[in-house]
Structure 1
Amino acid sequence: MLRYTLKRLGIFVGCLVVVWGLVYVGVFPRGLGDSNGMWIILLSLLLSAPISFVVLRKERDRASVQVVQRVDRMKADLEANRSQEDSVDEAARTQA
């Protein structure tokens, strides 16, 4: 999961550098007034999202498998705790 996050952050930073360079050169407009920094960040986000979606498909699938395994493990642990509580409750009722 951390690997996916770091790769996605790397793609964003790469887009940020490219967009900043293109704005600096004059290929992209500079924005309105003092909004230049916000313009560069928003444009970088807009460009990095579809790139991440396509490039990191396998990494995203691996991360989702890990999440599903964790959820399944937690469900199994909860079910084990419930059955344990039920058996203790049954034993207490039979003794009374």
Structure 2
Amino acid sequence: MLRYTLMRLGIFVGCLVVVWGLVYSGVAPRGLGDSNFMWIVLLALVISAPISFVVLRKERDRASEQVVARVDRAKANLERNRTQEDVADDAARAQGQTS
């Protein structure tokens, strides 16, 4: 998961540098007034999103499998705990009825 996040951040930073270069060289339009920095960041986000979606497909699938495995383990632990509580509760009730 960390690897995917770092790769995605790397793509964003690369796009940010390219967009910054294009804006300051005059190829891409500058923002309005004082919004130049926000314009560069927004444009880099818009460009990096589809690139990340295509380039990081395998890494995203790997990260998704890790998340699913963690969720499944957590569900199994919760079910095991719930079962233990039910058994203990049933035992306590049975003991209370026989006394």
Q: TM-score w.r.t. structure 2 length? A: 0.95
Larger RCO, structure (CA 8 Å, separation 6 or more): 1
Instruction: Provide structure 1 residue ranges, at least 5 long, that are not aligned to the other structure.
Output: none
CA distance in 2, matches of 1:34, 1:82: 58
Gaps of 5+ in 2: none
- The within-5 A match list for 1:25-44 is 25-44=25-44
What's the counterpart of residue 60 of structure 1? 60
Question: SS at the partner of 1:30?
Answer: coil
Q: Report the secondary structure of 1:32's partner residue.
A: coil
Instruction: Letter of the 2:10 partner, please give it.
Output: G
TM-score, L = length of structure 1: 0.98
Which residue in 2 is equivalent to 1:16?
16
Write the letter of the residue equivalent to 2:63. A
Per-residue deviation, residues 47-76 of structure 1 (Å, max 9, x unmatched): 000000000000000000000000000010
Offset at 1:94?
1.3
Q: CA deviation at 1:30?
A: 1.0
Percentage of pairs with the same residue: 80
